[in-house]
Amino acid sequence: MARQIGPIWVEPRELRLPPQTGGSRLFCWEANMKPMEKYEESDLYRIRHSAAHVMAQAVMERFPGQSKIAIGPPIEDGFYYDFDLPRPLTPEDLEAIERRMREIIAEDLPFTRQAISADEARRLFADQPYKLELIDGLEQGGLDEYGEPLDEKPEISTYTHGPFADLCRGPHIERSGQINPAAVKLMNVAGAYWRGDEKRPMLQRIYGTAWKTAKELEEHLARLEEAKKRDHRKLGAELDIFVFDEEVGPGLPLWLPNGGILIEELERLAKEMELRHGYDRVRTPHLSKEALFVHSGHLPYYAESMYPPMELEGVRYYVKPMNCPMHHKIFAARPRSYRDLPLRLAEYGTCYRFEKSGELFGLMRVRSMQMNDAHIYCSEEQFESEFMAVIGLYHEYFRIFGIEKYVMRLSTHHKRGLGKKYVDDERLWLKTEDMVRQAMQRGGVPFVEAADEAAFYGPKIDVEIWSATGREFSLATNQVDFAQPARFELKFTNAQGQEETPLCIHRAPLSTHERMVGFLIEHYAGAFPVWLAPLQAIVIPIADRHLEYGRRTAERLVAAGVRAQVDEGSERMNAKIRAAQLKKIPYMLVVGDRESQAGTAALRLRSGEDQGAVPVDEFIARLRREIEARA
RNA sequence: GCCCUCAUAGCUCAGUCGGUAGAGCACACCCUUGGUAAGGGUGGGGUCAUGGGUUCAAAUCCCAUUGAGGGCUCCA
């Protein structure tokens, strides 16, 4: 049942569809706030779902009697199927499986659905342990194929084509011949835990893609190629933004001068913005005694992600994985009155988290990070306006960067108990989640909800984005904390002279420098707007006799606060232009005889546009305006 | 952390059946002094990721370690 949240239509079932991809969430946002297309009811969904079954048949035939099959759903742009096989699959296996799939498609086998009882299903899949587990889940617990709870007890059904029968709720195409053999391709094999649980067996997952036409497949593959060119890891190296060094360690980026400029420009932006929004800037140490993290409650929840303690003079110290406890101590350092609230403490705090080695990913997931952090201490009455002011801040930032493709996600606690992941206070969970939900709805801000994604201390709104590789990341975050202020006994005196515990909002609209820069590299494909561009203008003298004028021109630019250089190399002008293009420098100032006599420069944009001779003074004034406007 | 794959010059890569290394780009120097995406020449640069093993002989085969990539899990 679709329902409207703010101006966006959201269908809860759809959001849960492939938990592995986040694809459907992207889908609904790109629908531009119109009711979302029902992927589950589309032809492509059926084609992909059926292609997964055809693939499973081919795999089972290749390992007769030795293939245990798990699940094989459609996902964004394709499908997968998980198998437990006697040996790892090779590229040759994939080719053979793909060939066999085409044969099965050519056989034009009908897909037939049959509703059966749980016992019949158990007999049918007697030698398929994963299917038996699914049947139990469907019958008893009302769990779907991902192990998520279902509202109602579903009917158990199978879909059969030729010799292959699968436990499946469908839907499918009518005949295997409806899959276009020229529009199917197996992509890669990967490991995946059964039911996404790292304690369960590791299965082999084959990813495939399927489209209606060969042309669509081709276009999809071309899109993947294009995306690879945007990959921040590739562009980051080409544009001299950052490097990783084996001796420094994984997940510990070294920022090159160009990266340093990006970081400083972002910090400058954050400082201006936070000053305007009433934040106070503070600075706190990189490490503290263990006691602080015991007090905050982080240690039991977070120890695995922290670098191990170092012990000196009998005291254990931890490098901080987050800044909040330090900010809480600043709040606690003085008696606070309601007149001090809201108190907004901001810092680009440097944190270290020991992310598991396999989780590292370029700049998007690192072990050392500088976080655009702030903690807002406020009363319950102030909560909504403070929380929504942060959301407003997001929007301001996103307008500056032209970020349009994102989803705001309300992350809540798990409905089936708090367990060890969450602070144990169901009432406060429900209360704060409702506060956030209502604030967002009243503010007319579209969002989707995700259970079991909250921070341990409270619900949050995360802004989800996608890297060029299609992986999903939280960029900004805006979190409610109902637990830590009480743990730290933070108090303020209210207007009635009584002591009250404030709420705390944790927020990071610009994420970490690492993830933000990684995201921006891909967002702009390396062609940063002028205000961010590490080198804003390059002067290109045509011949040596123009070098002097070129240097003077560059000096004037630098004196005006522009990041400019002169290309003194002995290559031809064409080669210099090419080099500047590859570095995506916004402005190229070509100077030769005509320009040095007239005091001008021939202006070329990285778009390729030639604007002809422009007086240097005029160019500087224009560039200054552009930089200041952060256009 | 787990499954799979990979590691040759700063970068992109070649190197057959084991016989101890090569190209283009980049860099340096020289020539060229040019009008909007690569002018020419010469040269420097690699203990073939690291450590073991097999072998008369290892970039090549085997093992381990480190790092990277595709996923899973986890997350700013």
Q: What is the DSSP string of A116-151?
A: --HHHHHHHTTT-HHHHHHHHIIIII-B-TTS-B-S
- Judged by DSSP in three states, A424 sits in coil
Is residue A529 predicted with pLDDT exceeding 60? yes
- In one-letter notation, the amino acid at residue A433 is E
pLDDT of res. A13: 31
pLDDT of res. A364: 95
Helix (H) or strand (E) holding A613: strand A610-615
pLDDT of res. A152: 72
Choose among A586, A585, A588, A582: nearest CA to A601.
A588
Choose among A157, A6, A134: nearest CA to A70.
A134
Over residues A570-579, mean pLDDT: 93
Is residue A135 predicted with pLDDT exceeding 80? yes
pLDDT of res. A514: 97
pLDDT of res. A63: 93
Confidence of residue A270 (pLDDT cuts 50, 70, 90): very high
pLDDT of res. A2: 32
A342-346, A450-454, A601-605: range with lowest mean pLDDT: A450-454
Find which nucleotide's C1' atom is closest to A468's CA.
Answer: B70
Per-residue model confidence as pLDDT tens digits over A450-472: 888 898 899 999 999 988 888 88
Instruction: Count other C-beta atoms under 10 Å from residue A6's C-beta.
Output: 16
State what percent of residues in chain A have pLDDT above 70.
93
Over residues A121-150, mean pLDDT: 85
pLDDT of res. A7: 32
Per-residue model confidence as pLDDT tens digits over A374-420: 999 999 999 999 999 999 999 999 999 999 888 899 999 877 666 67
Residues 6+ apart with CB under 8 A from A311: A317
Q: Which residue has the tokens 């009433």?
A: A278
Q: Which residue has the tokens 């679709």?
A: A2
DSSP A561-573: T--EEE---SS-H
Is residue A4 predicted with pLDDT exceeding 70? no
Global confidence as pTM: 0.92
* Closest CA-bearing residue to C1' of B72: A192
pLDDT of res. A416: 66
A22-26, A445-449, A465-469, A589-593: range with lowest mean pLDDT: A22-26
pLDDT of res. A5: 33
Chain A span 283-342 residues with beta carbon within 7 Å of strand B: 305
State what percent of residues in chain A have pLDDT above 90.
77
Is residue A8 predicted with pLDDT exceeding 50? no
Chain A span 522-581 residues with beta carbon within 7 Å of strand B: 542-545, 569-575, 577-578, 581
- Cβ contact A406 with chain B strand, < 7 A: no
C-alpha angle A561-A565-A566 in degrees, rounded to nearest 5: 140
How many Å does it take to go from CA A417 to C1' B2?
27
Choose among A226, A232, A227: nearest CA to A526.
A232
ipTM score assigned to the predicted complex = 0.93
Over residues A170-186, mean pLDDT: 94
Over residues A312-341, mean pLDDT: 96
pLDDT of res. A591: 96
pLDDT of res. A39: 83
Is residue A136 predicted with pLDDT exceeding 60? yes
- Cβ contact A245 with chain B strand, < 7 A: no
Confidence of residue A302 (pLDDT cuts 50, 70, 90): confident
Over residues A33-50, mean pLDDT: 77
pLDDT of res. A19: 32
Is residue A114 predicted with pLDDT exceeding 90? yes
Find which nucleotide's C1' atom is closest to A243's CA.
Answer: B10
Confidence of residue A560 (pLDDT cuts 50, 70, 90): very high
Whole-angstrom distance, CA of residue A391 vs CA of residue A376: 13
Nucleotides of B under 7 A from a protein CB: 1-5, 11, 26-28, 30-40, 66-76
Find which nucleotide's C1' atom is closest to A604's CA.
Answer: B36
Per-residue model confidence as pLDDT tens digits over A9-29: 343 333 333 333 333 333 333
Is residue A33 predicted with pLDDT exceeding 60? no
How many Å does it take to go from CA A301 to C1' B7?
37
The residue count of chain A comes to 631
Q: Which residue has the tokens 């938990």?
A: A19
Over residues A539-554, mean pLDDT: 95
Per-residue model confidence as pLDDT tens digits over A197-235: 999 999 999 999 999 999 999 999 988 988 889 999 999
pLDDT of res. A64: 92
Helix (H) or strand (E) holding A514: helix A513-523
